Amino acid sequence: MQKFFDTEPDTTLLANDSPRRSISRLRIAVQNASRDPYLGQTVVEHLRNEGFRNVYLIQDWPDFRHQTAVIAQRGDLDGAGFIEAVLGAGKVVADSTGDLDSDITIRVGDDWTEHLVQ
């Protein structure tokens, strides 16, 4: 967050007319769907370095995906869009797949490997 938005991790976001809450407190599940077995952990570490503290790895997705999906579990498209901007890759979708107890599930695709090369 500091790198992209020149702000501290306690930045707040108004999501779907709900009370303001800290972006850094979002529960973010990371699910690897890339061909690189370590890419999910790399994304977890990247988000933690950006100031997110509630980020964790879940079981890999069974199919490979090219494009990373940032899944808004509870319709928090603003929060998902913010995460997408921090990642620099992916597409925001509203869905109920991945970790249903998370606020956001990131299904990491092969496009994030391309992001690392840049």
Q: What tens digit of pLDDT does each residue of 72-103 get? A: 988 888 889 999 999 988 899 988 888 889 99
For residue 55, the model assigns a pLDDT of 96
Domain range list for the chain: 27-117
DSSP string, 37-72: TTHHHHHHHHHHHTT--SEEEEPPPSS--SS-EEEE
pLDDT at 118: 57
Q: Are 93 and 65 in contact (CB under 8 A)?
A: no
Q: Which CATH architecture has domain 27-117?
A: 2-Layer Sandwich (3.30)
Q: What is the mean pLDDT of each run of 10 residues along the chain (118 residues)?
A: 48 41 83 95 94 94 94 88 90 88 94 73
Q: What's the pLDDT at 100?
A: 87
Rounded CA-CA distance 61/41 in Å is 14
